[in-house]
Amino acid sequence: MSRLVYVLNGPNLNLLGKRQPHIYGHETLADVERDCLALAAELGLQLRFHQSNREYEIIDWIHEARETAGAIVINPAAFTHTSVAILDALNTFDAPVIEVHISNVHKREEFRHRSFVSLRADGVIAGLGTQGYQLALRRVARLIDEKVA
Ligand code: CA2
């Protein structure tokens, strides 16, 4: 199984660490990418780390991942709660999908409690801050290793 993992980030996450630190913390998305790349090297994973404010770009990366990747880690941000199109794209991907949220969406407004992506995700991490990305990578590495063994 491919050891390539796509880490996909949805709208406004480019502002991470620059606004609302009481909700999302002080780390920037560049910090998260750097830490993910370091951990991926330790775990023997290759990484494609992307962020977009455009739904179609995220869908295109999921389609790309169908051809090449062993797993997807995705923080769809606000698209979590609205996007049937991202759910449909993920439903065409045949390997593990882990959904990550930096904040605990269940402790927040009611509209954040519903996730279309959770209908496909194999696991969901919420409220563990940016550490959630690291934990998701450890999980997909384990799943890929188990598949190979
Ligand atoms: O907790 C998460 O990771 C979210 O996916 C973040 C989304 C939100 O819509 C989801 O309900 C939960 C928002 C991402 C916006 O990121 C910002 C970061 C810093 C400053 C402003 C926005």
Q: pLDDT tens across 64-118, in order?
A: 999 999 999 999 999 999 999 999 999 999 999 999 999 999 999 999 999 999 9
Contact call for residues 3 and 72 (beta carbons, < 8 A): no
- How many whole angstroms separate alpha carbon 82 and alpha carbon 88? 12
Is residue 133 flagged as an active site residue? Answer: no
pTM, full prediction: 0.98
26 is catalytic: no
Instruction: Judge residue 67's burial from the number of C-beta atoms within 10 Å of its C-beta, 0-12 exposed, 13-18 middle, 19 or more buried.
Output: exposed
Q: Is 2 touching ligand 1 by the criterion CB < 6 Å?
A: no
Annotated catalytic residue, options 101, 106, 113, 133: 101
Average pLDDT, the chain: 97
CA 110/CA 96 separation, integer angstroms = 27
Ligand 1 contacts CB of residue 80 (under 6 A): yes
| DSSP state, residue 105 | G
Confidence of residue 149 (pLDDT cuts 50, 70, 90): confident
Strands 97-101 and 123-126: parallel
For residue 136, give both structure tokens. 């998701």
List, as one string, the DSSP characters of 24-93.
H-S--HHHHHHHHHHHHHHHT-EEEEEE-S-HHHHHHHHHHHHHH-SEEEEE-GGGGGT-HHHHHHHTT-
pLDDT digits (tens, 9 = 90+) for 5-44: 999 999 999 999 998 888 998 999 999 999 999 999 999 9
Class of domain 4-148: alpha beta
Is there an atom of ligand 1 within 6 Å of 13 CB? yes
